[in-house]
Amino acid sequence: MLDALARGFIADGWSLKKLHRKMMLSATYQQSSDDAPACRQVDPENRLLWRMNRRRLAFEEIRDSLLVAAGRLDSTMGGRPDDLEKAGALRRTVYGIVDRISLPGFYRAFDFPCPMLTCPSGMRPSFRSRRCS
């Protein structure tokens, strides 16, 4: 699969946009996480990718999807950050203020990564195992 993607990437003039489109529109990427007993019997570890593996959503994904479902998400890009603790904060969560000294409780309830940890360029540690107290 990687060889086919690499050949297509080169053939499409090294276009990342076309590569992303090809991956996102693939049947494998669009799989549902619904269980199929017949498939589970043949491939219980899901090595053949017959379903999307379930994963826990991060705080940002949950908050943004709730705002979209309510029809209230402000998708304005750029600008000053919003205080997510205030009522009426409707911008995407990525534009929220993160107070490194006093992280609000609702951030901690969703396993928000500890903002006091630093990460060298190119490295991304697993924050799920390390939380701020």
pLDDT, tens digit (0-9, with 9 covering 90-100), for 24-53: 998 878 888 888 999 999 999 998 888 888
Task: Kindly list the domain boundaries of the chain, sorted by start residue.
Answer: 2-42, 59-108
CB atoms within 10 A of CB 115: 13
Question: pTM of the predicted model, to two decimals?
Answer: 0.55
Phi and psi angles of residue 96, each rounded to the nearest 5 degrees, phi first: -85, 150
Q: Does residue 6 have a pLDDT over 90?
A: yes
Higher pLDDT, 1 or 15: 15
Element housing 10 (H / E): helix 2-11
63 C-beta neighbours (distance < 10 Å), count:
19
Amino acid of residue 53? N
pLDDT in tens, 91-120: 998 898 888 888 777 777 777 777 777 766
